[in-house]
Structure formats: C-alpha cells, structure tokens
Chains A and B, each alone.
Chain A
Amino acid sequence: MVYPYIPHTDEDRSMMLSAIGLQSLDQLFEVLGEELQLSDSVPISHGRTEDEVQRMIDSIASRNVRGIPFLGCGCYDHIIPSTVKALSSLPSFVTAYTPYQAEMSQGLLQAIYEFQSMICEITGMDVANASLYDGSHAASEAASLMVASKRKSSTVLVSSTIHPFILAVLTTWAKGTDRAIRILQEKEGVVDLSSLEAELDETCAGLIVQSPNRYGLLEDYNTVADTLHTHACLFAILSDPLSLAIQKSPAEWGADIAIGDTQSLGLPLAFGGPSCGYMAVTESLMRRIPGRIVGATTDAKGRRGFTLTLQAREQHIKRERATSNVCSNQALAALMTTIHLSSLGWGGMVEAANQSYAKAHYLAYHLAQLPGVTLIWDKPFWCEFPLVFSDAKRMRKFLQELRNEGIFAGVRLAALTRQAKDELVLLVAVTEKRSREELELYLAAARRVMK
C-alpha cells in the first residue's frame, strides 16, 4: 500500500536500508525487545481514501443539528468578518510551530506582538502574554500567580457568580495541593462584597471575580481594588473582552490581572474549542506572568525585530521553578482574534457590543411581559440575561416548542451547575448577529407557549 503522506518507494526503502547496513525495517525495532513488539497491528480500522473519509465524515456531520443559537455561557455566536478565516488559514501560519527561531518567524512574532498590544489596549493593562488555553485556564494561572506573589498565602477568593465550569476548573486546580479556593457568596445575582474585608487574612492571596458574570449580569467593583491592596491581595477580573467595549475595563476598576477568553472576538463556536485564553497584568507583575511573551528589539544593524522574551520565567529554562508549566498555547486562535480586531477596529467593537446590548434588551423586555417567566434581579446586563420560569414543565415545553421552530432558546443553568436551585433558570444570549426576524420568531414562539 502507498500512503500519500509517506513518500518512500520500494526502491527508496531498500537503498536507505542498505545505506545504514540493514536488510529490513524490522531490524530498526529490535531494540523494543520481543516481549514488547506487537505481533499484530493495533485493533483499529484499515486506512481509507480521501473520498471514503469525506463520505464517512459527511454522514457523522449530518447527526449534528444546527439551530438559531440564543446560547451563551462562555461561548457566543458573534459576527466574524471573512478576513479571519481566509488569513488565518495561510499555510505558513498554520504549519509553523512556536517561533523559537526569531529570524525565520518574524511574521508570527509580530502578529503575537500586535495581539498582546490589542489585549493591553482593550483591558487597559500594561503587559499581556501570547495566549493561554481558554478562560478557565487563564483563571487557574491567575490563581497560581496570586499565591506565588504573596509569601505564606495559600487561598484564593473566588466569586460564586463566576462561570460554573471555570469554578470547576479552579476547584481541580486546588485539589490535592496545599492551595485552596474560598467562595465569596452572591446576593441578588451579583457578588456580595460586604464580607470581603472580613475574608482577607494572611493566607488569602487575592480575589477573582467575573463580569458579565454567570447570569450575564454586570458587577460593580467600586473600592474593591483598594480593599484588596490594603491587605496585600491581588485583584483579578475575568471578562468577555467584547463587553469591555462598553463596560468599565479591568484597569479602570484598578485590577492587577485581567483574564478571560477571546472566543467572542473572531472564533467560531466549534463545540467549545479551540478558544483562546488571555491574561494581562500591571507592569509590576510583568516577570510573574505565565506563558510566552514577545518583545521588540533590534539586530546588529539596528533594524527592529521581534523575539520571544523574558524566558527566564518559563518551563524550558526554569523547569520546576517556572511560573507555569504552559508551553504550547493557542497561537492560531490568538491570530484569529488579532485579524478580527484589525478588521473591526475600536468602532466596530463598540458597534458589536452596543448592538448586542440593544438586541438582548429588546428580547428581554418583551419576554418579561409574558406570564410564567420573570427576569429576576433588576440588575444591568449586557448580552445575556437569566429568565426564570414558574415551573419545570413550562420550561421544558418552552425549550421544545422553540426548538421545533429551529431556535435554541437558551442554556439551562442547571446543566452547568447540576444544582436544584438553578433548575428553573434559563440563560438567554443575544448577539449583534441575531437579526430582527430571528428575534421576532423567538418572541412569537415564546408568546404561543407562555400565553
């Protein structure tokens, strides 16, 4: 059998074997020993041609059902300019690896430098890294950074309004170690900061909050930074970066660390991945930030060039003393965000954020008129809001009827938290991509069910 991805002909093989003084390929594997060498091929299927694979995948793909998504909870259906896919698919971007050899990777390094710059601009922070796996990874790295920054600390305070899956990842982060997550409770859908001061002891390294939070609500962090800093604690705000086009930036709240996921900036839904975590910090934390960082410098002729820098923080240099174990990150996804932001500009970002705000409020306003559902907590929100049903049967019927119309009406919060108290909460997300017709279709179906 000939494999298109393996160029060797029979003639090549025998010539190469004789060049190394062997008769058969098997001799190369004698070192494995008889006990370990497989006598038979592994039990997976035989190879297929391109056409056969495509047909098989088409059949699998047909078992995925698309609808008009009013789904969010950390993954949003925003408009993506066609430049993003076209340019991020350029083969040298796709098939390169980490730009260790700067002279041969200037394009990639410059794109990362532009990404870092844009993340700094959007968050208002001083220094950003080249990306992390996703928003939950950014949160765990922020927690590690906090604990490493304060001697004898072991605990990170986390708002109970943080995304349930991010809370789950942080819980795993602490598991089996001498670190701990302590929950700061919520009140009426937003973090309750009244007990913050009381929580801040010597073991506490910092606070992680999220806005828009798990309910889609925007939170107020007035005076939080000062309180934390008085107790030598760090302040991390996790946010959907698109929301920062209209809501206060982490820097404006006085945060030390800005984290989140750039999925809302140019990345498709993709069943949740790849997305792209970001982290940006104040200058004083520059040498503690995890992951790759690109810096500008010059060559012997004084020409500007870009290179991986501040590598003394990283695992390939410091091994067990590194600030993090991260190596590969989400470079190509970060490139997609960079192209997206280059296409939108600040004006486009503000437009997308404002339209999402307006459309979400339009839908929320009209849904609130219906019997059997309420918008609990009269709090500001951006593009996602919690709709609470009077009973579970109604909720099921609502979801089913809307699905019959081709609409995915929202995410059940209980599907994420697996808690009875969230059973009747539906999170509805509306982006600028949802057309007036789609909004009206949603409302018409909702009115039919909830009359």
Chain B
Amino acid sequence: MSEPLLIDMSKQGRKAYCFPPLDLPRGFDQALPSLPASLSRQTAARLPEVAELDVVRHFTRLSNLVHGVDNGMYPLGSCTMKYNPKLAEHIAGMSEFTQIHPLQDISTVQGSLSVMYNLLEDLSSITGMSWGTLQPCAGAHGEYTGLKMIRSYFLKQGDDARKKVLIPVSAHGTNPASAAVNGFDVVPIASDERGLVDLEDLASKLDDTVAALMLTNPNTLGLFEQDILVISRMVHDAGALLYYDGANLNAILGMATPGDMGFDVLHLNLHKTFSTPHGGGGPGSGPVMVNSTLRPFLPKPDIELTDSGYVYQWENEESIGKVSMFWGNFLVLLRAYVYILRMGSEGLRAASRHAVLNANYLAAKLAPVLRIPYGKRCMHEFVISCSDLLEKYGVSAQDIAKALIDEGYHPPTMYFPSLVSEALMIEPTESESVESLDAFAETLLKLVKRAQEDPASLKAAPITTVVGRLDEVKAVKEPNLRY
C-alpha cells in the first residue's frame, strides 16, 4: 500500500505535540520588546497539522517500505552493508553522550574526548599510520580533507606546480570529484588486462606536476593491487604522495596495513568497515589518517592527552584548519569505538577473513553460470557481467537487479565499475551465513534460467513492491521536488 504525504492528512487545529505554557511573570510578557516589523516573517510555512498517532503511523508505514540490513541480505558492492550491532545503538543513545554540548568546558567532556582519543589510537594501529582526524563526516569529506593536506604539503615546500591527481578509471566517482573541488586536475590511469593499475600508463603519467595517486586497495573489482609496493616506489620516486581510499578496507583488517603499503594518507568509512549504520545515506564518518610526513597538516583542533587530562590543541601553524562545524559526527565515532572494543584485534581480523571467504564462496557458486571477467580469486567483493544475458536474451544487469527485489534481496551495485559491461558488484560481507549465501546464489541462478525461458517476466520486475520501475526521464524533465 502506498502512503499519502503527511501534509495531505493535515487538519487544521490538530497537534502532535504541546509545549508547556510560557511561565514568565505577567508583567514581563507585556514589557517584552517585539521584533521589529522590518525583520519579521510575513508568510506562514505549510507544515503538517496532525495528531501524534498520525505521525507514528505515517513514519512506521514508511519504514515498512524500506529494506535495510536488518530486513535481509544487502550485497551492495563497495558499501560494506554488514550487521550493525544493537549494543552500539544502545550506547549511542545514552544521555551521558547525547546531552553533552560541544562547547562545554573541557573538564566536563573528558568522557567524550577519551572516546575520540582512544579511537584515533586504535585506528592508527589498524591502518599502520601515525595519527589522524575525526572531523570528516563521510568518505568524500575525508577525501576532500586528505587532498587539501596534500596540497598544503606541497605549497609548504614551495611547490605550486603539482596540480595533477592520478586516479584509476575504476575508482569511486567521489575520488575525481574531491580532487576537482580542491582545484586539482584529474588524470585517469588505465587498468591492465588483470584489472589492476597499468604500470606502464602510470609511469608515463608520473612527473613533477603530479601531487598524488589515489588508490583503492583492494580495488573496485575486488582485486588486491599486488604491485602496490612497486607503485608506491614509483609514486614516491616521482616526488608525489599516495592516497588510500579506505572504502574497501574491510578486506584486509588485521591482515595488512595501508601504512606498510606505503600510503601517506587515507580515509576510512566508519559506516562501512566499522559497522556503524548507513542511516539511509548517512550520517557516516570519514576519519583521515596520515603518516608523519603529513601529520603537521591535520585539521584543527587535535586532541592531546596531558597530565591534566585531554585537551584540544589549536596551536598548529601548518594545519589546514577546520573541515567541519565541531568535532565530527561524534555519535558515529562512538558506535565505531564500541565495535572495535567488542571485536578486538582478533575479531577484526576474523571479520576480514570471513568477508573474503564469503565473497570467494559466493563467486565460486556463481562462476559456472555468470561471467566474472577479472580475477581468479577475489577479496571481499567481486564483479559479475550480465553482458551474455543481454546479448542472448535481452536481459540486462538492471533486469536481474530488479528481479532480485521481488525475491527479497537488495540488489548489488549496478553498472560500476565501468570496466565491466552490465556489471553487478557483489559484496556479501562477513555477516552472512553459508545458508544465506546458498539461498542468494540459488536465487540468482534461478533468475538466469528465467532469462532464457521467460525474459519478459524479468523486464516487468519488480512486481511485489509498492511501485514498479519509475519513469526517470519524467522525473528529470518535469521536476517535482516538493509538495
């Protein structure tokens, strides 16, 4: 059943909330200066007027029209849709954390600061880096911050010529966008027949105008860039820096570190690797970790542990400054900290090992029927191509994805990376059991069979949802963006 807009259920005079009456002394009410008419609002805004139960039913019904990890498998590649522990939700709701103001006296926020300080210590150990910042609110925000630091580093050396950032064609779209926002020119790097960085292409593009190479490792094909030490040497020999996009860190926790690989700066996605919920598109958190070369450029303020407790450190001349309003998405940081406490070093390692096991097991089940163009084995995710289905039966990756919805699955990431035609990028995560992987594989194979026998039924999918495929062209041509 579709749900009407709440505004359409409005009835003048209904209230879902009542404020206590204003209880100032009577005399004062009259003496109160009124806001000058020149500054006063003239028009009312149209907001719903409904009873409390109307609000409750409306949003409960809307929540029933959403699929989350708690509802079922969510193999959305590169997004690491793993289980979000309930303990972390509970702790993030504790009033000792939610009722603390960011500008309270430092002596009254030692608990929150200790969470942030210890989280930074743990993240430094996990990534093999020197220190970091928790201010960035998402992965792309972390990229922005890291690239800003790289630019400041070169300017500090008096080097204004390094205006290029090299980015593999398989990289997430945020990489080139973040580089452009920071005023860099983006130079794409080709992938070779293995699906890895093309070393010849890289060599031909490395010179003294290059500031950095941004790399995701394992990359978006789910393959480990096994030449990473060579790449690192090439990049550093050219005087450039190496940036690690941590979107796929869930493949190597406790197994290897970006620090050992030679990365100078990286961002993490706490909402991916460290199990904080994705919230329908945020809030996430994108801490940036650096080695000692870039440490002076970290955003302000840093947190330091002194004899009198934790303090903010603002006295850093080379810092790029602030990148967010206060200290970061604290309640997200807290959840990630709880996850790390719960898992410990062995647990994090086990998470990655099982994430990789799950991906390889699922890939092996699908490989006889669906083409996996790159890699014999994968890390935490893999990419299948539906191009054969399209050629033979006219069934596209999108058709398969939409049919999966009718089977109760959130579809994999579609049409990315562009190296693979009709791509479906599958990341099962360590959260899924073997039974759940078997059921998913069976479903996919059943759909492939249906593509041969009854392609029209796949084209019609989904049919079990509140709406069918939507007219995207109409949405763009006749924008209806508000009530």
Q: Is the CB of A273 within 8 A of B329?
A: yes
In the complex, whether B440 has a CB less than 8 A from a CB of chain A is no
In the complex, whether A152 has a CB less than 8 A from a CB of chain B is no
Rounded to whole Å, the gap between the CB of B41 and the closest CB of chain A is 6
In the complex, whether A104 has a CB less than 8 A from a CB of chain B is yes
**Which of B180, B229, B354, B377 is within 8 Å of A321, CB to CB?**
B180
For residue B90, which residue of chain A has the nearest CB? A54
Q: Is the CB of B322 within 8 A of A81?
A: no
In the complex, whether A146 has a CB less than 8 A from a CB of chain B is no
A328–B348 Cα gap in the complex (Å)?
Answer: 24
**Interface of chain B residues 82 through 133 with chain A (CB within 8 A):** 82-85, 87, 89, 91, 93-105, 107-112, 114-115, 121-122, 125-126
Q: Is the CB of B55 within 8 A of A342?
A: yes
Q: Is the CB of A303 within 8 A of B467?
A: yes
In the complex, what residues of A have CB within 8 A of residue B338's CB? 53, 57
In the complex, whether B306 has a CB less than 8 A from a CB of chain A is no
Interface size on B, residues (CB 8 A): 202
A99–B76 Cα gap in the complex (Å)?
Answer: 11
**Interface of chain B residues 460 through 483 with chain A (CB within 8 A):** 462, 465-472, 474-476, 478-483
In the complex, whether B431 has a CB less than 8 A from a CB of chain A is yes
Q: Is the CB of B19 within 8 A of A50?
A: no
A28–B223 Cα gap in the complex (Å)?
Answer: 12
In the complex, what residues of A have CB within 8 A of residue B70's CB? 91-92, 94-95
**Interface of chain A residues 260 through 310 with chain B (CB within 8 A):** 261, 268-276, 286, 292-301, 303-307, 309-310
In the complex, what residues of B have CB within 8 A of residue A322's CB? 173, 177, 180
* 0/1 interface trace, chain A 116-134, chain B, CB 8 Å (1 if under): 1110111010111011011
Q: Is the CB of B139 within 8 A of A328?
A: yes
Which of A200-208, A224-232, A356-364, A369-377 is near enough to bind chain B? A356-364
* 0/1 interface trace, chain A 341-353, chain B, CB 8 Å (1 if under): 1111111110110
**Which of B97, B344, B431 is within 8 Å of A48, CB to CB?**
B344
**Interface of chain A residues 93 through 107 with chain B (CB within 8 A):** 93-107
Which of B201-209, B275-283, B387-395 is near enough to bind chain A? B275-283
**Which of B138, B345, B365 is within 8 Å of A44, CB to CB?**
B345
In the complex, whether B143 has a CB less than 8 A from a CB of chain A is yes
* A53-B338, A347-B15 known; A176-B151 Cβ under 8 A: yes
Rounded to whole Å, the gap between the CB of B480 and the closest CB of chain A is 4
**Interface of chain B residues 321 through 344 with chain A (CB within 8 A):** 321-332, 338, 340-344
Rounded to whole Å, the gap between the CB of A236 and the closest CB of chain B is 16
**Which of B2, B112, B322 is within 8 Å of A172, CB to CB?**
B322
In the complex, what residues of A have CB within 8 A of residue B364's CB? 19-20
* A61-B96, A325-B144 known; A104-B405 Cβ under 8 A: yes
In the complex, whether A389 has a CB less than 8 A from a CB of chain B is no
Rounded to whole Å, the gap between the CB of B102 and the closest CB of chain A is 3
Q: Is the CB of A248 within 8 A of B40?
A: yes
* A6-B351, A320-B179, A403-B105 known; A134-B341 Cβ under 8 A: no
For residue A348, which residue of chain B has the nearest CB? B17
In the complex, whether A329 has a CB less than 8 A from a CB of chain B is yes
**Which of B174, B327, B469 is within 8 Å of A325, CB to CB?**
B174
**Which of A63, A269, A324, A365 is within 8 Å of B98, CB to CB?**
A269
Q: Is the CB of A305 within 8 A of B357?
A: no
For residue A63, which residue of chain B has the nearest CB? B111
* A358-B29, A436-B24 known; A44-B104 Cβ under 8 A: no
A88–B66 Cα gap in the complex (Å)?
Answer: 13
Interface size on A, residues (CB 8 A): 201
In the complex, what residues of B have CB within 8 A of residue A436's CB? 23-24
For residue B351, which residue of chain A has the nearest CB? A6
A57, A98, A306 — most chain B CB neighbours (10 Å): A57
In the complex, what residues of B have CB within 8 A of residue A87's CB? 55-56, 59-60, 63
Q: Is the CB of A107 within 8 A of B64?
A: yes
In the complex, whether B384 has a CB less than 8 A from a CB of chain A is no
In the complex, whether A408 has a CB less than 8 A from a CB of chain B is yes
In the complex, whether B299 has a CB less than 8 A from a CB of chain A is yes
A5–B384 Cα gap in the complex (Å)?
Answer: 27
Rounded to whole Å, the gap between the CB of A172 and the closest CB of chain B is 4
Q: Is the CB of A346 within 8 A of B46?
A: yes
In the complex, whether B372 has a CB less than 8 A from a CB of chain A is no
A90–B68 Cα gap in the complex (Å)?
Answer: 10
A95–B58 Cα gap in the complex (Å)?
Answer: 19
A74–B327 Cα gap in the complex (Å)?
Answer: 13
Q: Is the CB of A95 within 8 A of B482?
A: no
**Interface of chain A residues 68 through 113 with chain B (CB within 8 A):** 69, 71, 73-75, 77, 79, 81, 83, 85-108, 110-111, 113
Q: Is the CB of B65 within 8 A of A345?
A: no
For residue A30, which residue of chain B has the nearest CB? B377
* A77-B101, A104-B405 known; A246-B341 Cβ under 8 A: no
In the complex, what residues of A have CB within 8 A of residue B112's CB? 64, 271
In the complex, whether B140 has a CB less than 8 A from a CB of chain A is yes
**Which of B121, B351, B479 is within 8 Å of A309, CB to CB?**
B479
Q: Is the CB of B186 within 8 A of A320?
A: yes
A42–B226 Cα gap in the complex (Å)?
Answer: 21
B19, B278, B377 — most chain A CB neighbours (10 Å): B19
